[in-house]
Amino acid sequence: MKILAIETSCDETAVTLLDIRGELEKPDIKVLGNTLLSQVALHTQYGGVYPNLAKREHEKNLPPLLEQTLREAGENLEKPDLDYIAVTNGPGLEPALWVGINFAEELGKKWGKPVIPVNHMEGHIYSVLYDMLNTECLTLPALSLLVSGGHTELVHVKDFCNYEILGQTRDDAVGEAFDKVARMLGLPYPGGPEISRLAENSRKRVTEDEIKLPRPMIHSKDLDFSFSGLKTAVLYKLKLENRSDSEFKEDMARAFEDAAVEVLIHKTSRALRELGNRAKTLIVAGGVSANHYLRQELNQLVNKFPGITLRMPTGLLTTDNAIMIAIATFIKINKHPEILKKAGPISASGNLSLISLARR
């Protein structure tokens, strides 16, 4: 199955052509062509993604990226050999999503190919299938912790394309909190890698950080998250201390990272206990899954659950990309082939949920 996938949910423009075959639990994935262009440098001056600028850049970048992808795959630019076109239709920034959708639908008309809408978060879940070093099949059911700039969710993956949201953030996503705290500390966007770098410096310098921050909702009776209070606590601490030296910034970054990761680990641990034998795998994906300290703590966590296998995406697939969208499409078509008969206009949905998938 050859799938051309397009991803424009935020500030990465991505196009890929994959040949995917085999079992859903361990598909044979061949990347025929793959391109990705990040807009980070353009959005740095705003301290975050500016939607209309992202839209403009997607419009400019998609045609040359498509051509580059097809050339890399050795395909005819006018009529490539492919079976389906996939495009992210949510969640994300709606102006950015519409660019990808309109582009995909025009290609579908031009080439006479079905266009399949894909949930961005499904892509993150199945990004773990692209792991050339892992010889094990993906065992379901699973618990998935999705951590990114726009989302923090605990999802029970009962089966392929069958989900139950167990908990989610009530305000800021954890990745968004990382970016906002980085901005408070005068660090460049994106903030996650910078916070992690400073926090690691602090851990090398002192055994224990004297700065203590709250762990919002860590003892709540549900599996929801909240990070706005943690962000506010950082702001108050910065105003109280009124310091800008490098060691203070490192310790503050560490205190924030410690608090955020502790909440993520605590809630994930609780979800695993509640699911019991209804989870065989822990999937952790999204941009924040690249965080070194979080990965370290997750490895320690699964040691306490002998029956659980931890699966995380390779570094290439932690951020937004089109490869994961193509993989999710392969799974979606195999599990629900009836979607191919439900052709119709695709709409962008900025708040699209995993349990309200398009055309389902």
Domain extent, residue 60, equals 2-127+317-341
| Strand 115-119 with 162-168, pairing | unpaired
Do 275 and 207 share a structural domain? yes
- pLDDT tier for residue 344 given thresholds of 50, 70 and 90: confident
Judged against a pLDDT cut of 90, whether residue 336 lies above it is answered with yes
Residues 81 and 181 in one domain: no
Classify residue 104: in a domain, yes or no.
yes
Q: Per residue in 288-313, pLDDT tens?
A: 999 999 999 999 999 999 999 999 99
Return d(Cα 178, Cα 312) in angstroms, integer.
20
pLDDT for the residue numbered 315: 87
* Same domain, residue pair 304 and 217: yes
C-alpha to C-alpha distance for 354 and 29, rounded to whole angstroms: 24
Beta bridge partners, 7, equal 14
In the predicted model, is pLDDT for residue 52 greater than 90? no
The H or E element spanning position 13 is: strand 12-21
pTM of the model: 0.94
Q: Domain total for the chain?
A: 2
Do residues 325 and 288 share a domain?
no
Residues 91 and 238 placed together within one structural domain of the fold:
no
One domain for residues 115 and 257: no
Task: Check residue 318 and give left, alpha or beta (phi > 0: left; psi -120 to 50: alpha).
Answer: alpha
Give the model's pLDDT for residue 48: 67
pLDDT at 43: 58
Q: Is the pLDDT of residue 135 over 50?
A: yes
Residues 266 and 176 reside in one and the same domain: yes
- The angle formed by the CA atoms of residues 149, 179 and 55, to the nearest 5 degrees, is 55
Region 141-161: mean pLDDT is 96
Average of pLDDT values for 336-351? 89
CA 114, CA 108: separation in Å to the nearest integer?
6
In a domain, 357, yes or no: no
| Cα first-last separation, the chain | 21
- Residue 177: inside a domain: yes
Partners of 143 in beta bridges:
156, 282
Residue 141, preceding bond cis, omega within 30 degrees?
Answer: yes
Report H helices in 74-211: 94-111, 120-126, 174-184, 191-205
Query: Does 353 reside within a domain?
Result: no
**What percentage of residues in the chain have a pLDDT greater than 90?**
84
User: In the numeric block, which tokens belong to residue 291?
Assistant: 């965080």
Residue 21 lies in a domain: yes
- Return d(Cα 91, Cα 151) in angstroms, integer: 9
Whether residue 168 is found in the same domain as residue 83: no
> Do 151 and 297 share a structural domain?
yes
Q: Is residue 67 part of a domain?
A: yes
> Does residue 288 fall inside a structural domain?
yes
pLDDT tens digits, 217-259: 999 999 999 999 999 999 999 999 988 899 999 999 999 999 9
pLDDT digits (tens, 9 = 90+) for 168-193: 999 999 999 999 999 999 998 888 99
Query: Domain of 260: which CATH number?
Result: 3.30.420.40
- pLDDT of 359: 35
Handedness of CA 349, 57, 49, 249 (dihedral sign): positive
What residues have CB less than 8 Å from 187, skipping those under 6 apart? Answer: 194, 195, 198, 249
pLDDT higher than 90, residue 136: no
193 and 323 fall within a common domain: no
- β-sheet bridge partners, residue 152: 147
**Does the residue 270 lie in any domain?**
yes
Q: What is the per-residue pLDDT for 47?
A: 63
pLDDT at residue number 73: 98
- The fraction of the chain above a pLDDT of 70, given in percent, is 96
Mean per-residue pLDDT, 314-323: 93
Helix (H, G, I), strand (E, B) or coil at 31: strand
Residues 272 and 226 reside in one and the same domain: yes
Q: Are residues 299 and 221 in the same domain?
A: yes
Nearest to 227 by CA among 145, 152, 143: 152
pLDDT of residue 271: 98
Residue 86 and residue 245: Cα distance in Å, rounded? 48
Q: What is the largest CA-CA distance in the chain?
A: 63
Yes or no: say if 97 and 9 are a contact pair by the CB < 8 Å rule: yes
76-101 pLDDT per residue, tens: 999 999 999 999 999 999 999 999 99
